[in-house]
Amino acid sequence: MMRFFAVVICADGGIVRNEQTGEVMNMEVGECSSRNEAIDQACHMFECRHVRNGVLRRNSNAGGLLVVDAQELVTI
Protein backbone atom coordinates (compact mmCIF):
# COMPACT_ATOMS: atom_id res chain seq x y z
CA MET A 1 0.00 0.00 0.00
CA MET A 2 1.20 3.49 -0.82
CA ARG A 3 -0.08 6.92 0.17
CA PHE A 4 -1.38 9.03 -2.69
CA PHE A 5 -2.12 12.72 -2.98
CA ALA A 6 -3.95 14.95 -5.46
CA VAL A 7 -1.88 18.01 -6.41
CA VAL A 8 -3.96 21.02 -7.47
CA ILE A 9 -3.25 22.27 -10.99
CA CYS A 10 -4.62 25.41 -12.63
CA ALA A 11 -6.35 25.60 -16.00
CA ASP A 12 -3.05 26.12 -17.86
CA GLY A 13 -1.52 23.02 -16.23
CA GLY A 14 0.70 24.81 -13.73
CA ILE A 15 0.96 23.57 -10.17
CA VAL A 16 -0.83 25.72 -7.58
CA ARG A 17 1.32 26.75 -4.60
CA ASN A 18 0.54 28.57 -1.38
CA GLU A 19 1.53 32.21 -1.92
CA GLN A 20 3.09 32.62 1.52
CA THR A 21 4.86 29.29 2.02
CA GLY A 22 5.44 28.13 -1.55
CA GLU A 23 4.15 24.67 -0.62
CA VAL A 24 2.35 22.66 -3.27
CA MET A 25 -1.41 22.70 -2.70
CA ASN A 26 -2.54 19.10 -2.31
CA MET A 27 -5.17 16.86 -0.76
CA GLU A 28 -4.64 13.35 0.52
CA VAL A 29 -6.32 10.61 -1.48
CA GLY A 30 -5.32 7.89 0.98
CA GLU A 31 -3.59 4.53 0.94
CA CYS A 32 -4.14 2.50 -2.20
CA SER A 33 -2.60 -0.66 -3.62
CA SER A 34 -2.00 0.85 -7.07
CA ARG A 35 -1.93 4.15 -8.94
CA ASN A 36 -5.06 3.13 -10.85
CA GLU A 37 -6.91 2.50 -7.60
CA ALA A 38 -5.76 5.92 -6.33
CA ILE A 39 -6.99 7.58 -9.53
CA ASP A 40 -10.40 5.91 -9.21
CA GLN A 41 -10.60 6.93 -5.54
CA ALA A 42 -9.64 10.54 -6.34
CA CYS A 43 -12.22 10.73 -9.15
CA HIS A 44 -14.88 9.64 -6.69
CA MET A 45 -13.71 11.90 -3.84
CA PHE A 46 -13.26 15.07 -5.88
CA GLU A 47 -15.92 14.53 -8.57
CA CYS A 48 -13.43 14.54 -11.43
CA ARG A 49 -12.75 12.46 -14.50
CA HIS A 50 -9.43 10.90 -15.47
CA VAL A 51 -7.92 12.43 -18.60
CA ARG A 52 -4.63 10.49 -18.71
CA ASN A 53 -1.38 9.85 -16.84
CA GLY A 54 -2.96 10.64 -13.48
CA VAL A 55 -4.36 14.02 -14.58
CA LEU A 56 -7.91 14.59 -13.41
CA ARG A 57 -10.20 17.22 -14.85
CA ARG A 58 -12.80 18.90 -12.69
CA ASN A 59 -16.30 19.11 -14.11
CA SER A 60 -16.11 22.90 -14.06
CA ASN A 61 -13.13 22.78 -16.46
CA ALA A 62 -11.35 25.26 -14.17
CA GLY A 63 -8.16 23.36 -13.50
CA GLY A 64 -7.80 19.92 -12.06
CA LEU A 65 -5.65 17.54 -10.07
CA LEU A 66 -2.60 15.37 -10.57
CA VAL A 67 -2.47 12.10 -8.62
CA VAL A 68 1.00 11.41 -7.22
CA ASP A 69 2.44 9.10 -4.58
CA ALA A 70 4.17 10.37 -1.45
CA GLN A 71 7.66 10.08 -2.97
CA GLU A 72 6.65 12.05 -6.06
CA LEU A 73 5.02 14.75 -3.93
CA VAL A 74 8.33 15.43 -2.17
CA THR A 75 10.06 16.07 -5.50
CA ILE A 76 7.53 18.59 -6.81
What one-character-per-residue DSSP string does 30-60 give?
A: EEESSHHHHHHHHHHHHTEEEEETTEEEETT
**What does the pLDDT profile of the chain (76 residues) look like in tens digits?**
999 999 999 988 899 999 999 999 999 999 999 999 999 999 999 999 999 999 999 876 678 999 999 999 999 9
Q: What is the pLDDT of residue 62?
A: 76
Buried b vs exposed e over 48-57: b needs ≥16 C-beta within 10 Å?
A: bebeeebbbb
Q: What is the pLDDT of residue 68?
A: 98
Q: What is the pLDDT of residue 16?
A: 95
SS3 label, residue 64: strand
Q: What is the pLDDT of residue 61?
A: 67
Q: What is the pLDDT of residue 57?
A: 92
Whole-angstrom distance, CA of residue 6 vs CA of residue 25: 9
